[in-house]
Structure 1
Amino acid sequence: MLDHHLAELFQAASDRDPDRLFACVPRLYEATEGVDEASLSAVAARLSELFDLVPPSIGARLGVLAGALVERGADPMPLAGPLVRGLTEHLELSARFAAAWRSITGEEPPEPDDDDPEWTVTVAARLSGIEEREAFGLADAWALAHLSSMPVLSILQLSPRVRAELPGRDRLVEALSAVLDDRDDLEWLAGLLSVLDEEHLIVLHRETGRGFEIVIGGMGDNFQLHTLLADAVSGPASEGFIEGVQPEFGWVVSATDGPVPPEADSVSGQFNLVDANGKWIWNEGIPASIPLLEGRRVVVLDPPPYQRTWSAGRRYPMMRATVRMERILPADEAAAWMSRIAPEGGFTN
């Protein structure tokens, strides 16, 4: 049955019949319900070949199906290439659209609307001086950039391997950077492209002088980092851990990969996170922004200057956060790291 639906899709693409193709999409998706991951992955691998056979605007809509299959358990790697390539092309055209729009109209680029087919026609008509087909292509890319980003958001959240081996990453980052100031709806993508995996942190507890090497991955912001570091270093002082900072179990589950109960209490901060230079590590930031010291990101755990609370959960709900206590640093090594960091309150001149 799955082969039949795939054959329908490919035939519609070959016949250049978008209406028939889009009619096939929901039938294929429905047929994958309850299918094992191996079969889903086979469908995804076959689907990855379809993107080269259709125009970019159709590819953006096929991408939604691809992302949905990955969310059901399909291997995302075969899809990563065509999805990233299609998104990157839309972003590059979007940058050209924004520049042309400002130059021709003197206005800021309009809010895109990929649900209204007339929107693209109306907007393209205002790009006077540009050939009609090119103007339509630029406006269409501007409208479809967010839709193209959706399956990439899915595969980045669900697969550390995709995050590590993302094809075309440099070109994608460059294309995204060119439009990000104009497209708030793409900030989630920018955040995911900055996620660290298998990142070794040096974590120092100033009050006790204890130090830890902790490996993190899949964290969308420092709210998660704060909660999960507190959990990682909590334990008996006799075993080298920190007592009295254990976050509630539900907070840890919600920050890792579990559900967020509707009645969940606010998370309370256990520390003030500080970098090696004495600057506060704001919870609203991301781990990748923590500066390096001798090739390692250093997090200092200071007492909280006031009570901080925030909502339980994760910025990226499909992404599983990981924290691994690699080792408790020997006292001399912890002291050596402590000697390199700014004193409490930062360096003074």
Structure 2
Amino acid sequence: MLDHHLDALFQAAGDRDPDRLFGHASQLYAASEGADEPTLSAATARFGEVFDLVPPGIGARLGIVAGALAERGADPVPLAEPLVKQLTGLLEQSARFAAAWRAATGEEPPEPDDNDPEWFVGAAARLTGLPEGEAFALADAWATVYLAHMPILSILQLSPRLRAALPGRERLVEALSAVVADRADLEWLTGLLQVLEDERLIVLHRESGRGYEVVIGGIGDNFQLHTLLADVVSGPSEHGLIEGVQPDPQWVLAASDGEVDPDDLDPVHGQFNLVDAYGKWIWNEGVPADIPHLDGVRVVVLDPPPYERSWSPGRHYPMMDGRIRLERILPAEEAAAWLSRVAPEGTPD
């Protein structure tokens, strides 16, 4: 049944008929309800081939359907290359739009409205000095880049494999960096591209002298890291763990793979002050990728909290499961060696 809709979709793309194209895309999504994972994944892999047949503005709208199929359970990996390629091209054109707009008007680039056809016409008309076709293409990119980034948000949250090895990542990051100062609506993607996968941390509890090696993945910010670290190192002292720091299990679920519903939970209470190997505070508002390395590994020191901290439970990226695994408890001499090399707690930056 899905193949029938896909055949019609490709026929509409070949006929350059966007109304039929979007109609068949909607029908495909409706027909996919209840399909099993292999059926969804096969259809989605084929769907990914349509992006080479359509202009980027149309592809950006089709990408919403592709991301929705991934959220419904399809393997997102085959979608990554065409979606990243499309988004990167639109970001690069958006950077050119911003530069052309400033050169032509002396103003900051405007907030786009991709639902108003007159916006494209008016914005393109103000890009004086550019051929009409190029001006319209740049205005179209500026307006549709937000839509194009939405399915990337979905597939990155859903797939640790893509977070670890995203096709075209370097060019995408460069293109995103060139426009994100003008496009605050793209900042969530910037953060998602920084998420660490299978990253080893050395965690040191200065007060007890104990140390731990953990592996993290899918953690969107240091609020989430703080909660999960407190959980993984808590336990009986005789087992080499830390007593009295166990967070509420519901906080842990909300930070890992449980339901994200902060309204139903009490605020999380911080158990530690996180400090890096150089004595600087690790702010909860930051991300694990901000934590500096010491000899090739990120080091987190757990110090007593200087004051009471609390925050809403949950995950910054609700579709992404946060993971932390205790690999080993460091032998006492190894923990002592690490602690001898880290700086005393300093003042916050």
The answer to whether TM tops 0.5 is yes
Deviation at 1:344, TM superposition (A): 2.9
* Between 307-316 and 116-125, the greater mean CA deviation after superposition: 116-125
CA–CA separation in structure 1 for the residues paired with 2:347 and 2:184: 34
Q: Counterparts of 1:46 and 1:153 in 2: how far apart (Å)?
A: 20
- Give runs of aligned pairs for residues 212-291 of structure 1, distance below 5 A: 212-261=212-261, 262-291=263-292
Output the CA distance in 2 between the equivalents of 1:329 and 1:139: 56
Cα distance, 1:346 vs structure 2: 6.4
Q: Deviations over 1:297-324 (max 9, x none)?
A: 0000000000000001000000001100
The AA in structure 1 aligned to 2:139 is A
The equivalent residue for 2:308 is: 307
Instruction: Give the equivalent residue in structure 2 for 1:115.
Output: 115
How many Å separate the matches in 2 of 1:300 and 1:133? 56
Partner of 2:56: 56
The question of whether the paired residues in 1 share the 8 Å contact of 2:124 and 2:135 is answered with: yes
Hey, what's the Cα distance between the residues in 2 that align with 1:212 and 1:148?
Answer: 41
Structure 2 Cα separation of the partners of residues 88 and 11 of structure 1: 26
Q: What letter matches 2:276 in structure 1?
A: D
The answer (yes or no) to whether the contact 2:280–2:345 under 8 Å persists in 1 is no
Aligned-partner Cα distance in 1 for 2:302–2:208: 10
2:334 aligns with 333
Q: C-alpha offsets along residues 213-253 of structure 1, whole Å, 9 cap, x if unaligned?
A: 00000000000000000000000000000000000011000
CA distance in 2, matches of 1:180, 1:284: 19
Q: How does 1:1-349 map to 2 (within 5 A)?
A: 1-261=1-261, 262-345=263-346
Letter in 2 for 1:319: M
Residues in 2 aligned to 1:219 and 1:230: alpha-carbon distance in whole angstroms: 14
Runs of at least 5 residues in structure 2 that lack an aligned partner in the other structure: none
2:281 and 2:347 in contact (8 A); partners too: no
Taking only aligned residues, the RMSD between alpha carbons, in angstroms, comes to 1.0
CA distance in 1, matches of 2:346, 2:183: 37
Residue type of the alignment partner of 2:297: R
- C-alpha contact 2:281 2:346 (8 A) present in aligned 1: no
Shift of 1:152: 0.3
The C-alpha deviation readout for 1:91-111, integer Å capped at 9, x for no partner, is 000000000100110000001
Tell me if the contact between 1:277 and 1:346 (Cα under 8 Å) persists in the aligned partners.
Answer: no
Percent of pairs with identical residues: 71
CA distance in 1 between partners of 2:135 and 2:2 (Å):
39
- Cα distance in 2 for residues equivalent to 1:43 and 1:34: 13
Check whether the contact 2:274–2:301 (CA below 8 A) recurs between aligned residues: yes
2:43 corresponds to which letter in structure 1?
V
CA distance in 1, matches of 2:339, 2:175: 40
One-letter identity of the residue aligned with 2:167: P
* SS in structure 2 at match of 1:96: helix
Q: Alignment partner of 2:281: what SS?
A: coil
- 2-structure distance, mates of 1:346, 1:210: 23
Instruction: Give the residue type in structure 2 aligned to 1:199.
Output: E
Larger deviation: 304-313 or 260-269? 260-269
d(CA) in 2 for partners of 1:344, 1:20: 63
**Structure 1 unmatched ranges of 5 or more:** none
User: 1:97-156, CA deviations, whole angstroms, 9 ceiling, x for partnerless residues?
Assistant: 000100110000001112222211111111111111100000100001111000000000
List structure 1 segments (4+ residues) > 6 angstroms apart after TM superposition. Answer: none
1:180 deviates by 1.0
The separation in 2 between residues aligned to 1:346 and 1:249, in whole angstroms, is 32
State the distance in 1 between where 2:59 and 2:347 align: 52
Deviation at 1:263, TM superposition (A): 2.1
Count of matched residue pairs = 347
Q: CA deviation at 1:290?
A: 0.2
Question: What amino acid is the match of 1:212?
Answer: Y
Secondary structure (helix, strand or coil) at the match of 1:299 reads: strand
Distance 1:278 1:231 in 2: 23
CA distance in structure 2 between the partners assigned to 1:112 and 1:206 by the alignment: 51
The amino acid that maps onto 2:32 is: T
Query: Contact (CA 8 Å) 2:260, 2:318: kept in 1 or not?
Result: no
Point out the more displaced range, 246-255 or 17-26.
17-26
The alignment partner of 2:127 has SS state of coil
